[in-house]
């Protein structure tokens, strides 16, 4: 099975080794549950906004069909203080493209919420409540668009707030999640991915 992960620094795993990226963790967990999935293909780069991801997809022209497609983007739109209203049409377009790459099987697409970078050391001295509020506004719109498109929605935002109290969940750069945090994301995503692929979690 083919797995395509679309996104930004969170998907490419800025600050961690390749095997610590959450798409790699997820692929490993899927294989442990009997799903014959290959290594994830990534279209992602640190600092990409939603429109920059769309441009990269247009340039790279990924060739489907994919059995599983994930989409996680928007944090850089928020960080650059772009209004949510400008993010909405971009994200909607990305969702449609993701569904198209999944052979128009919306149930094979998973949209993932924007993490709360305000819970990291990098945000020290900034208005953490405002960051959380703005990210919440982005996520609310993204979740609504995901529901409209018929794709799965997975919220990892709450999980990321543990970074405020658990330093081991933050990468050495003080901003991005660590491999352990990404492993937790993958665990959270696993049942949804298995459901999307028509399987169930094996009992431990």
Which CATH number do you get for residue 90? 3.40.50.1110
Residue 185 within a domain: yes
Residue 79 within a domain: yes
| In-domain check, residue 53 | yes
DSSP string, 158-174: HHHGGGGT-GGGB-TTS
Number of domains in the chain: 1
Q: Please tell me the pTM assigned to this model.
A: 0.95
Report yes or no on 29 lying in a domain.
yes
Q: How many CA atoms lie within 13 A of 66 on its CB side?
A: 27
Q: Tens digits of per-residue pLDDT, 77-122?
A: 999 999 999 999 999 999 999 999 999 999 999 999 999 999 999 9
Do the domain assignments include residue 201? no
Question: For residue 204, is it within any domain?
Answer: no
| Dihedral over Cα of 94, 196, 169, 114: its sign | positive
| Residue 140 CA, distance from chain mean position | 15
Residues of the domain holding 182: 3-196
143-195: pLDDT as tens digits: 999 999 999 999 999 999 999 999 999 999 999 999 999 999 999 999 999 99
Does residue 118 form part of some domain? yes
Dist CA 45 CA 39 (whole Å): 18
- Within-domain flag for 202: no
């Amino acid at each position: 099975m083919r797995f395509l992960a679309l996104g930004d620094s969170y998907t490419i795993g800025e600050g961690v080794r390749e095997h610590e990226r959450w798409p790699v963790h997820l692929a490993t967990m899927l294989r442990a549950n009997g799903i014959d999935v290959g290594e994830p293909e990534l279209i992602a780069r640190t600092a990409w906004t939603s429109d920059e991801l769309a441009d990269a997809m247009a340039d790279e022209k990924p060739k489907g069909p994919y059995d599983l497609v994930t989409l996680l983007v928007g944090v850089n739109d928020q960080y650059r203080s772009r209004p949510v209203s400008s993010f909405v049409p971009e994200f909607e377009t990305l969702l449609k493209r993701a569904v198209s790459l999944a052979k128009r099987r919306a149930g094979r697409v998973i949209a993932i919420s924007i993490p709360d970078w305000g819970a990291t050391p990098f945000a020290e001295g900034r208005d953490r409540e405002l960051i959380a509020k703005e990210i919440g506004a982005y996520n609310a719109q993204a979740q609504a668009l995901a529901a409209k498109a018929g794709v799965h929605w997975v919220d990892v935002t709450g999980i990321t707030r543990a970074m405020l109290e658990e330093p081991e969940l933050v990468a050495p750069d003080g901003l991005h999640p660590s491999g352990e945090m990404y492993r937790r994301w993958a665990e959270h995503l696993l049942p949804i991915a298995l459901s999307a692929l028509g399987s169930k979690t094996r009992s431990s």
